[in-house]
Amino acid sequence: MKLEAVLSRLRAGDKLHMQLVDGARVWWFEGPWETVPSSVADRLKAAGDIAELGDSLFGITGNSQSWAIGGGVADRVACSVPHCRRTRRALPDLITVERGDYADGDTVTTDIAEEWICADHWRAIPPATRQLHAAAKRKAKRVKTLMALLVFLRVWNRAKRQAIEGAAGI
Ligand SMILES: [Zn+2]
């Protein structure tokens, strides 16, 4: 399928499906079934023309099984604290890990910079969490295991929750 044909099906409300097969992403539409080259899907993702619906294994970003038309804003990342107006240019920081026992040889790639907390809100996070965050990130990049990635994502969620609580003055 060509890019324009994919976009017109997305605009009509069709969902794009994605699955990892032998470590590669396979994309398709259903009813009528049409395969979408990963090069086309990657271009749509990079442009923010498609957004994932969050139904991924382990909730890891970038790995949803369903994608729909996006807002075209993927080139900017907003601060994760609600109502904060700060944004920065999207700078993907991809980590690829082995899925291990779940499916031998399969890998999961996620963009750990998909979410961001601005400098002001980052300062509201307790130093212990910030140190844990830095250590968990270093470890995930070094050992490249699913477990290390899941630990990093847990620490990130804690940091985000504390930034949001800090912003609310709790
Ligand atoms: Zn902020």
DSSP for 71-98, please give it.
-S-TTEEEBSSTT---EEE----EEEEE
Q: 169 CA to middle of ligand 1, Å? A: 14
Kindly state whether residues 100 and 19 are assigned to the same domain.
no
Binned at pLDDT 50, 70 and 90, residue 154 comes out as: very high
User: What is the distance between the alpha carbons of residues 79 and 58, in angstroms, rounded to a whole number?
Assistant: 23
Cβ(49)–Cβ(69) below 8 Å: yes
Q: 82 CA to middle of ligand 1, Å? A: 8
Give the bridge partners for 107, in sequence order.
98
Kindly state whether residues 86 and 147 are assigned to the same domain.
yes
Name the residue among 81, 88, 87 with its Cα closest to residue 169: 81
Kindly state whether residues 119 and 53 are assigned to the same domain.
no
Q: 64 CA to middle of ligand 1, Å? A: 26
pLDDT mean over 79-87: 91
Q: 6 CA to middle of ligand 1, Å? A: 35
Measured over the CA atoms of residue 164, residue 166, residue 168 and residue 170, the dihedral's sign is positive
The separation between CA 85 and the C-alpha centre of its own chain, rounded to angstroms, equals 21
Mean model confidence pLDDT for the chain: 86
User: Quick one: pLDDT at residue 102?
Assistant: 59
Q: Among 93-97, 103-107, 157-161, which is the least confidently predicted range?
A: 103-107
Q: 78 CA to middle of ligand 1, Å? A: 8
Highest mean pLDDT among 18-22, 106-110, 112-116: 112-116
User: Quick one: pLDDT at residue 104?
Assistant: 59
User: Quick one: pLDDT at residue 131?
Assistant: 98
Q: 51 CA to middle of ligand 1, Å? A: 22
Kindly state whether residues 62 and 126 are assigned to the same domain.
no
User: What is the distance between the alpha carbons of residues 148 and 157, in angstroms, rounded to a whole number?
Assistant: 14
- Better-predicted residue by pLDDT, 152 or 170: 152
User: Quick one: pLDDT at residue 53?
Assistant: 76
User: What is the distance between the alpha carbons of residues 108 and 118, in angstroms, rounded to a whole number?
Assistant: 27
User: Quick one: pLDDT at residue 73?
Assistant: 45
Kindly state whether residues 128 and 112 are assigned to the same domain.
yes
pLDDT mean over 120-126: 95
Q: 83 CA to middle of ligand 1, Å? A: 8
Q: 116 CA to middle of ligand 1, Å? A: 9
Total-model pTM: 0.60
Kindly state whether residues 62 and 117 are assigned to the same domain.
no
Q: Among 53-67, 77-91, 146-160, which is the least confidently predicted range?
A: 53-67
Q: 33 CA to middle of ligand 1, Å? A: 42
Which of 32, 48, 69 is the last residue before a domain boundary?
Answer: 69
Total of domains in the chain: 2
Binned at pLDDT 50, 70 and 90, residue 51 comes out as: confident
